[in-house]
Structure 1
Amino acid sequence: MKMKTWKRFGLFALIGLLLSWAIACTPGSESSSSSQSGVREVEFWTMQLQPQFTEYFNEAIATFESQNPDIEIRWVDVPWSAMESKILAAVSANTAPDVVNLNPNFATLLASRNAWLDLDDRVPREIRDRYLPNIWDASTFNGKSFGIPWYLTTRITIYNQDLFQEAGIPNPPETYAELAQVAQQIRDRTGKYAFFVTFVPGDSAEVLESMVQMGMELVDAEGKAAFNTPEGEAAFQYWVDLYQQGLLPRESLTQGHRQAVQLYQSGQIAMLASGPQFFQTIAANAPDIARVSAAGPQITGQTGQKTAAVMNLIIPRNTDVPEAAVKFALFVTNDENQLAFAREANVLPSTVKALKDSYFQQLPPDASPVDRARIISAGQMSSASALIPAIEDIQQLQKIIYENLQAAMLDRKSVRVALADAAQQWNARH
């Protein structure tokens, strides 16, 4: 599932006071959401999983309720685009669900306001150890766990074998250094671009993640800029050089990731960074391109780090049924259910045991491009994590870096000045 683009959160300014008041309350007892029969209700919100996975969740919920007759699950599916505003308003009004499906980046905005239940005392160490440690850490803030990992995606490289053959390149690049060479060779021999990446603030974080992969640290322990360094300068210079050498489409400064998808499906670029599930989209929209598409590993820098997108389950601090909510969240994310949902949704599980299943480790005899992509994607998880730190205002940091990087790409600032200006602008906010 595709990585969610960050949004602006001006709404916080309007409801900050109300939010602070609402979350100051402590969780109630389990009995306050119990019916007269003693059954506790757990309200469970997911993000846009109906109708495709309705049968899966209905069966899973029925199984949980049969095992826990004193708990009743009320499942509410929320459109992806509406989740952030709905959960923000619900937390503010003290009407939040008991378990909610979010990504760590947005969840951190409320973790900083103490909106979520601290899980460190409620999830024993032996259970936490069942999850991939680098993925569990993605849902921590100030050393406290606020989320339980659920499903994952990690980028791969989808590439056009015909264009690679025309350019005389046998394999897709695996590092950014190789990518620069491949970009030049494809441009010279085919007249087309190797790839498209967006520098539009608020859109894909791929460039920001690439800089981390190249060794640039974004912020220090106090949240101050840590990127005005030789590593940061090299990362800025890399993208400036590609753009000024004509190896990136000019519209990369003004168009978002959707443009990359359109260009790949029309055969105008040779590579696309996306998830394995995108093969199905290509097959539906551009069958001729799908027939010549293959999967390669995610491109990385000298750090060797790979990025993963994480979906987790969060429990609001004000839930009246904390024990039942934790129990259900751990049920949804246990080995068996993670494996079943990952197979159903073409994503990756976040537990160690489920990821070791042969489905993610061995190619079937009649392997399809989707099968190959899945194996490559799963194989990256040992070095994958959420590369963007879970800090408040992270979308503003992306905006500041992208705007200054664009200025350097357009020769309006030197790389050093752009980097220093970005650091100064970020630090002025803190």
Structure 2
Amino acid sequence: MPIPRRTARRTAATAAVLAVVLPLSACGGASGAGGEADASGKVEGSITFQTWNLRAGFKPYFTGLIADFEKEYPGTEVKWVDQPAEGYADKLSADAAGGTLPDVVNVSPDLLAPLAKAGLALDLDQAAAKYEKEYLPGAWAGHRVPGLEGTYAFPWYLNTGPLFYNKRLFREAGLDPEKPPTTYGELFDQSLRIAEKSKGEIATLANIPTIEDFGRYGVPLMNDEGTAFTFNDAKGVELLSKYKELYDAKALDPQALTATPESAGKKFLTEAVAMNPGSALDLEKFRKQAPTLYDNIGITEQISNTGKDNMYVMGVMVNARTKQTPAAVAFAHFVTDAQRQMEFAKQVAIFPSTAGSLDDPYFTEEDGTDATRVRIAAARSLKTAVNYTPVLLSEQMKTELRNAVARALQGKESPKEALDNAVKACDRLLKQS
């Protein structure tokens, strides 16, 4: 899948894997061979490693990595296959159904979940627990699946994004431009202040709340068993009620209901909204197209009541039914160890998931460039970040939540009614899958 943003739309992707893979669980059970495979033997033999649309941009990196592994472990052979982004989930489901799933597989948490439920993903808490301490806690936990015991993939690279804010708009509202909001309470108060002082001309936000916002607000999103969603609890209703207040006061942009990342970015570029998430590429755009904004740009961490930002995490899964468990585990760890992740992070705008790596000068020392400014801000937040998006939340479920939020903001339903209906719809979809 394309780098750096591994947040591509997988509308039917997870469903495709679920439909074909879950019936296989009868063959192995939820923990299946994953809980019993022995990774302690000699590292030898031939294994297959599958990545997700990475060959075109990073062939030299991966061929070098594989050569280094084979040199370190004589008697091993790694066959690298790379699949295109389109149809990746379909390929996984076909391989799972046909018994041809590669030994080591690049997965995202949502694609991992059905494979783990089918007993096809090795439980690393049993087979490779000694490696857990090498990774950030939030990254390791990102590959757990509700309803199952265990962790089912090595964390690989991470991504996140800081918030940009317009210091001039904060200053003109009588707010301290060096103290942007860090909690949702501060965000709501300052947003209403900006709207009031600008007589409704300036909104602070251009996007409606997503599942990540509910998570960062402190809303429990799903029960521990993974059988029902819970984002309609009192805190969830409170969050949506606050957004309704912002919407009515024009502190949330009136076009937020139909906003895309591109349209929201344009609003921020033209200084019609005061805050927006972004990347180093956006910062360069501001410098060239909006020098006044660029001169007043502030960079801060994501808004959070939990003290933890949101991360996007990718993983490397070991096939629980591989015939070369020691070699497959050793290679999956090799790909994701601190040395290899740092090398990869210096080639592309991603972040390592290994403990201590984000303290490297590459992620902490300014050099005067925009890319470094954003990289340092994002790296700082990732040390304690977590993946708030439930691994069982499909794109169709996200649409149900998005539509419910829109109905509440428009006053067609109360926040409680809207979230209750969204949870019912998502639970129904969950049972269907």
What is the TM-score with the length of structure 1 in the denominator? Answer: 0.83
Aligned length: 408
Specify the SS of the correspondent of 1:76.
strand
Q: Is the 8 A contact 1:160 1:289 kept in 2?
A: no
Matched residue, 1:234: 238
Q: Report the residue type matching 2:71 in the other structure.
A: S
Q: Report the residue type matching 1:191 in the other structure.
A: E
Matched residue, 2:16: 11
Structural RMSD (CA): 3.2
Matched residue, 2:384: 383
- Structure 2: distance between partners of 1:117 and 1:87: 16
1:42-81 mapped onto 2 (5 Å cutoff): 42-81=47-86
Matched residue, 1:336: 339
- Structure 1: distance between partners of 2:295 and 2:242: 30
1:197 aligns with 2:207: yes
Matched residue, 2:5: 2
Tell me whether 368-377 or 163-172 shows the greater mean CA deviation: 163-172
Matched residue, 1:253: 257
Q: Is the 8 A contact 1:294 1:369 kept in 2?
A: no
Matched residue, 1:321: 324
| Cα distance, 1:50–1:184 mapped onto 2, change above 3 Å | farther
**Deviation of residue 398 (structure 1)?**
3.0
Matched residue, 1:404: 404
**Deviation of residue 422 (structure 1)?**
3.1
**Deviation of residue 167 (structure 1)?**
5.2
1:152 aligns with 2:158: yes
**Residue ranges of structure 2 left out of the alignment (5+ in a row):** none
**Deviation of residue 229 (structure 1)?**
2.8
- Structure 2: distance between partners of 1:49 and 1:118: 25
- Structure 2: distance between partners of 1:286 and 1:45: 39
1:175 aligns with 2:183: yes
- Structure 2: distance between partners of 1:239 and 1:346: 32
Specify the SS of the correspondent of 1:150.
strand
1:41 aligns with 2:46: yes
- Structure 2: distance between partners of 1:375 and 1:296: 10
Q: Is the 8 A contact 2:44 2:327 kept in 1?
A: no
Matched residue, 1:111: 116
Matched residue, 2:139: 135
**Deviation of residue 144 (structure 1)?**
1.1
Q: Report the residue type matching 2:154 in the other structure.
A: I
**Deviation of residue 335 (structure 1)?**
1.4
Of residues 207, 212, 218, the one that matches 2:210 is 207
- Structure 2: distance between partners of 1:163 and 1:246: 15
Q: Is the 8 A contact 1:266 1:286 kept in 2?
A: no
| Cα distance, 1:304–1:14 mapped onto 2, change above 3 Å | closer
- Structure 2: distance between partners of 1:51 and 1:261: 29
Q: Report the residue type matching 1:316 in the other structure.
A: N
What is the TM-score with the length of structure 2 in the denominator? Answer: 0.82
Q: Is the 8 A contact 1:22 1:92 kept in 2?
A: no
- Structure 1: distance between partners of 2:249 and 2:285: 34
- Structure 2: distance between partners of 1:2 and 1:294: 23
Matched residue, 2:277: 273
Q: For residues 287-313 of structure 1, what are the alpha-carbon distances to aligned partners after superposition, in whole Å with 9 as ceiling and x for unaligned?
A: 234744745233323322211111110
**Deviation of residue 412 (structure 1)?**
1.0
* Percent identity between the two aligned chains: 27
- Structure 2: distance between partners of 1:384 and 1:295: 21
Specify the SS of the correspondent of 2:311.
strand
Q: Report the residue type matching 1:220 in the other structure.
A: N
Matched residue, 1:202: none
Q: Is the 8 A contact 1:214 1:303 kept in 2?
A: yes
**Deviation of residue 403 (structure 1)?**
2.5
Q: Report the residue type matching 1:219 in the other structure.
A: M
Matched residue, 1:368: 369
Specify the SS of the correspondent of 1:100.
strand
Matched residue, 1:203: none
- Structure 1: distance between partners of 2:343 and 2:137: 21
**Deviation of residue 132 (structure 1)?**
1.1
**Deviation of residue 243 (structure 1)?**
2.0
Q: Report the residue type matching 2:210 in the other structure.
A: V
| Cα distance, 1:269–1:244 mapped onto 2, change above 3 Å | same
Q: Report the residue type matching 1:238 in the other structure.
A: K
Q: For residues 125-146 of structure 1, what are the alpha-carbon distances to aligned partners after superposition, in whole Å with 9 as ceiling and x for unaligned?
A: 2x21111122111112212111
Matched residue, 1:33: none
**Deviation of residue 344 (structure 1)?**
2.0
Of residues 213, 220, 223, the one that matches 1:217 is 220
| Cα distance, 1:162–1:50 mapped onto 2, change above 3 Å | farther
Q: Is the 8 A contact 1:148 1:330 kept in 2?
A: yes
Matched residue, 1:35: none
Matched residue, 2:89: 84
Matched residue, 1:420: 420
Q: Is the 8 A contact 1:295 1:369 kept in 2?
A: no
**Deviation of residue 23 (structure 1)?**
6.5
Q: For residues 233-292 of structure 1, what are the alpha-carbon distances to aligned partners after superposition, in whole Å with 9 as ceiling and x for unaligned?
A: 211112222222223334332343333234444554333213xxx213552697234744
Q: Is the 8 A contact 2:257 2:406 kept in 1?
A: yes
Q: Is the 8 A contact 2:158 2:313 kept in 1?
A: yes
Q: For residues 369-428 of structure 1, what are the alpha-carbon distances to aligned partners after superposition, in whole Å with 9 as ceiling and x for unaligned?
A: 3222222222223431111233x3454543333322222111111122223333444455
**Deviation of residue 49 (structure 1)?**
2.6
**Residue ranges of structure 1 left out of the alignment (5+ in a row):** 31-37, 199-205
Of residues 94, 102, 126, the one that matches 2:99 is 94
